[in-house]
């Protein structure tokens, strides 16, 4: 699901479709906090994906630098 769509759909489903509004303010807060929880999960997943892609690119750059350095060290003169 797209970023931000899951929390909104959970809130609508929990508050309106599952009749959370009948619980009053408690139902509203439950739906609101639970949807915020899903937003935090999606944010953390996105953050970890970005970290992983950045880490892999950094690792590739370091690998290339090591190859260049080792070629320099072992060149026959």
The tally of domains found in the chain comes to: 1
Does the residue 77 lie in any domain?
no
pLDDT value of residue 2: 72
Only one residue has tokens 């931000």, namely: 4
Does the residue 76 lie in any domain?
no
Does the residue 75 lie in any domain?
no
pTM of this structure: 0.65
Helix intervals (H) in the chain: 5-12, 25-73
Does the residue 26 lie in any domain?
yes
pLDDT value of residue 31: 96
pLDDT value of residue 18: 95
Residue numbers of the chain with a pLDDT score lower than 50: none
* Residue 48, domain extent: 5-70
pLDDT value of residue 63: 65
Q: Do 47 and 41 contact (CB within 8 A), yes or no?
A: no
């Amino acid at each position: 699901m797209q970023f931000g769509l899951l929390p909104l759909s959970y809130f609508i489903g929990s508050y309106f479709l599952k009749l959370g509004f009948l619980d009053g303010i408690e139902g509203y807060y439950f739906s609101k906090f639970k949807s915020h929880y899903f937003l935090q999960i999606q944010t953390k997943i996105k953050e970890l994906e970005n970290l992983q892609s950045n880490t892999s690119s950094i690792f590739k750059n370091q690998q290339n630098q090591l190859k260049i350095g080792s070629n320099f060290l072992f060149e026959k003169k």
